[in-house]
Structure 1
Amino acid sequence: MKLVILLLAFLLGKAYGFPERYVRNAGSGGSSEEKKKPHIVFFLADNAGWNDVGWNDLTGVMKTPNMDALARSGVILNQTYVQPICTPTRAAFLTGYYAFRTGLGHAVIPPAMPSYLSREFKVLPEYLKELGYTNHILGKWHLGACRWDVTPRWRGFDTHYGPQGGFCDYYNHSVSTHQVINQLFGLYSGPMALDFRDNTGAMFHHKGTHASELIEKRAIDLIANHNPDVPMFLYMAFAVPHSPYQVPDRYTNMYEPTPVNNLQKYRGMVTMMDQHIGNITNALKANDMYEDTVIVYLNDNGGVGRFGSSWPYRGALATPFEGGVKAPGFVHSPLLEKTGYVNNELIHITDFFATFLTLAGGTPDPSIDGMNVWDVISKNKKSTRNTMILHLDTHPVSPCISILDDGYKLIKGFYDAARNLSSLYDLIRTDDWIPPPELSDTADIPDVPEEPKNTTMLFDLSVDPLETNNLAESMPEKVAELLQLAEEIAAGAPDPFFPLEIPDVSDPIAFYNNTWTPGWC
């Protein structure tokens, strides 16, 4: 009798057009038409640039064969935007709200700062947990860790493996304890303290092994031991290729030396990340999960000037120029209806919150800023998104608004931290066009007069994607229109959650056995 029931279920599935993998076992008690929830794998790179992936690389130098294959056989994202720096991008992704709404739109969170993503905001893994998902974050958290209840295990993740802060030395897994938190950055120097955890336990015993290789191995182990019938959310929050520029020699040696110090190592880190992505994809296939998986790759912000290459776009991380906020990305999945094409629709990182939640069977709150773009990607449908806030900072030392609406992009206010920190500007050149060294003699660099700091800028990206022609003076009405629109969207935004005081009790050497540890705020 059971065999007859199973055969009927199979035939009904065929008759009604449901893929076999979506037809539940008839003996399970579930509806034969109920879709299986997909596994979701989200790869987020740290400080990589637009030109650092093979499908965008204009030098022919970058070696990212695994990502290239996934991108070209999936959907390449050509108009996807993130925040200018790390913490705001992660807050936007996990909440579905623009980062300024969470209070984290100003800057990154250093380890000794008593700031965090408020529990007022329910995050994606908490929703997914209610829908039956097992959730893992491997890599950096960087949304605050001064209290245990704001760290990943208390925010819907079943496991966390990696740093709770923004980066660490890749071999000793530590971060400096002596910090000066100015009004823009946390600056580090002095003795080191561990910042690498296996859930809540400090990871002293793996020092000497590259942190990214540890994270890759843990991901493969989790996948190999996972029940494919239980939906999984795997958030691969890579720290690479963020500094420090450390990588096994086998990756460095894939590249020729360049006049730019550490660029060879940086490029090796990108290729190491590509190898991780290939190995993790193979693990999904080995455990019969790949056919039911949605894989997404994005950068968290632009590259670091002469290291991560944002060429041919203007700018780099920490600015709302295209080189700081336009992210290379792809979606790869057997569940896509249309593949092998470049998607040019406007997408924001908050949209992946809404998309993942919808794919999982949930319903996004209508108040969020993200929207479900699955059909935009899977079917190449027209997006209904015309507007997005690229950056909004109300901190008194760096007020800035950047909005994109119907192809026009406004930047008003403090848009370039590096120009205000002269010791960094020559290295990072965040408001400039910086070709890779291989193109330095042949690149057509726009001949644009240097403007005063923080000049209001208006660009028509439909005809000027490289942001060379500032229209602000010739189109004051458009400037006023976009400024009003941005202010309407931002109405009621909280003040930035960026306390400058470093509490003595945060000191990991004095109080926590040389380990950055929550519980002091």
Structure 2
Amino acid sequence: MHIKLKSLVSKLLVFIIFSTTGCQYNRVNTKKRPNIIIFFTDDQGYADVGCYGAEGFETPHIDRLASEGVRFTNFYVPATVCTPSRAGLLTGRYPKRYNLHEAVLFPFSEGGLSLNEYTMAEMLKDNGYTTSIIGKWHLGHKEEFMPNNQGFDQFYGVPYSNDMDHYYYKDIDFQSPPLPLYRNKKLIESGPDQDYLTKRYTEEAISQIKSRGKKPFFMYVAQNMPHTPLHASPAFRGKSEKGLYGDVIMELDWSVGEIVKTLKEQNIYDNTIFIFTSDNGPQIGSAKPLRGKKAQTWDGGQRVPAIVVWPDNIPKGIVSNEFTTSLDLFPTLAKLSGSRLPHDLKLDGLDISNYLLHPESIKLPERPFYFYARNGDLEAIRMGKWKLHIEKSLGWPLDKNGAFPVSLYNLDVDIGEKNNVAGQFPDVVAELTHRVKEFEMELQ
């Protein structure tokens, strides 16, 4: 009798838990939960994709992907450089919240993404997904911070940027080792030939897709390219009119195509959410017609190409001007995968799942977005059509113009941030400045 009573109580508790967390589930049929692939490139600019206006090279596979889902023209990342942008993607939270917002991690760094942070991989793994990362991690190379301790079942790739390969940091007299290539926690190669990294990552992704189990999978393909130094395999060298940079992008496009082709051959493409985007603006590529580049809080540093496809559920051929960010992917994928989230988890991203499913009938709300510079300072805010810059550490010739003037731009009519209208709209300047101060106080 005691055992039966205990069983009854347990069942009642389970019923209560699922009843109170039911709002965390999406109405999409979760009996056949989607596979999820995030294809994340490194330093690929806003105009470094054919359908975004690329010149000198073609990206037919990415363009075809865009025609099969939603292509965003107002998609931002929460940082101008690698580490904090990747942290924001995987946590749905501003990196300032866990002190990973300044610069990037180096081979001599001791820290990494806090183990107190709940990653996208942990969320999906906790809800029945297998999880893997292929490519660049850059959230801490010490074992405690590596992917297998952050929710990923599998890791095949490198712990930081390809330019850190055997690099000598003369200011601190530190010699980096040859770029380490890992499979899970095991170092399998030192200083791999970078000409073949894109190809090897692609082959690994294909292999994992073909050998998948019965569970839905989450795959984070974080390519090293087109971060400098540029590398392409012999099959792609000389392919483009834009030299090696164009060759590199064309190989990344090939990679997207090979993965999509495999998904189709395995008859799982229609129920796979495929997301293509970049970690920040370009170092040597193009962000036209945006102002600025990587490491700058002008839009060229943080507005990036982004495409979301899910053939079974997302309409085709949508070009969206709605404001969205990589922080939105965490809560959105939680909803679309039918996953539960901890009740005390504070996310900065917005669940845009209903918009993705019905982009022609839903409008997203206006909300503030904060731009943190490479030095860790909060330099700008966007709200609706307005973007206010309050200071500038990079991308402004201080030696010629003196102190940076508070600058306001109407991005609806001035996408290149050329016409400062702060003097014409003092109320907007005051309101956005107040929001910046409030947000900084919140994060102290």
State the alpha-carbon separation in 1 of the partners of residues 205 and 259 from structure 2.
7
Q: Given the alignment of the two structures, is residue 130 of structure 1 paired with residue 121 of structure 2, yes or no? A: no
| Residue ranges of structure 2 left out of the alignment (5+ in a row) | 1-28
**Structural mapping, 1:417-496, within 5 Å:** 451-452=401-402, 454-493=404-443
Deviation (angstroms), 1:135? 0.3
State the alpha-carbon separation in 1 of the partners of residues 403 and 52 from structure 2.
30
Deviation (angstroms), 1:159? 0.7
**Structural mapping, 1:164-203, within 5 Å:** 164-168=159-163, 174-178=165-169, 180=171, 192-203=177-188
1:36 equivalent in structure 2: 32
State the alpha-carbon separation in 2 of the partners of residues 180 and 486 from structure 1.
35
Deviation (angstroms), 1:143? 1.0
State the alpha-carbon separation in 2 of the partners of residues 266 and 221 from structure 1.
27
1:221 equivalent in structure 2: 207
The answer to whether the 8 A contact 1:416-1:454 is kept is: no
Q: Output the amino acid matched with 1:487.
A: K
**Structural mapping, 1:172-321, within 5 Å:** 174-178=165-169, 180=171, 192-204=177-189, 207-208=192-193, 210-227=196-213, 229-256=214-241, 264-304=243-283, 307-321=284-298
Deviation (angstroms), 1:402? 1.2
Assess, with a 3 A threshold, how the Cα gap between structure 1 residues 367 and 483 changes in structure 2: closer, same or farther: same
The answer to whether the 8 A contact 2:120-2:330 is kept is: yes
Q: Output the amino acid matched with 2:238.
A: N
State the alpha-carbon separation in 1 of the partners of residues 228 and 133 from structure 2.
20
The answer to whether the 8 A contact 2:135-2:158 is kept is: yes
State the alpha-carbon separation in 2 of the partners of residues 418 and 91 from structure 1.
27
Deviation (angstroms), 1:205? 7.5
Assess, with a 3 A threshold, how the Cα gap between structure 1 residues 159 and 451 changes in structure 2: closer, same or farther: same
TM-score for the superposition, normalised by structure 1: 0.74
**Structural mapping, 1:33-182, within 5 Å:** 35-57=31-53, 59=55, 61-82=56-77, 83-146=79-142, 148-168=143-163, 174-178=165-169, 180=171
TM-score for the superposition, normalised by structure 2: 0.86
Q: Map Cα deviations across residues 72-118 of structure 1 (whole Å, 9 max, x no partner).
A: 12211111111221111111111111122121122111111122111
1:334 to 292, 308, 311: 311
Q: Output the amino acid matched with 1:405.
A: M
The answer to whether the 8 A contact 1:176-1:191 is kept is: yes
Deviation (angstroms), 1:418? 8.1
Tell me, what secondary structure is at the counterpart of 1:278?
helix
Tell me, what secondary structure is at the counterpart of 1:330?
strand
**Structural mapping, 1:393-432, within 5 Å:** 399-416=377-394
State the alpha-carbon separation in 2 of the partners of residues 466 and 335 from structure 1.
36
The answer to whether the 8 A contact 2:179-2:191 is kept is: no
Number of equivalenced pairs: 411
The answer to whether the 8 A contact 1:387-1:403 is kept is: no
Deviation (angstroms), 1:224? 0.7
Deviation (angstroms), 1:321? 1.0
Question: How many percent identity over aligned positions?
Answer: 29
The answer to whether the 8 A contact 1:320-1:390 is kept is: no
The answer to whether the 8 A contact 1:343-1:377 is kept is: no
Assess, with a 3 A threshold, how the Cα gap between structure 1 residues 34 and 74 changes in structure 2: closer, same or farther: closer
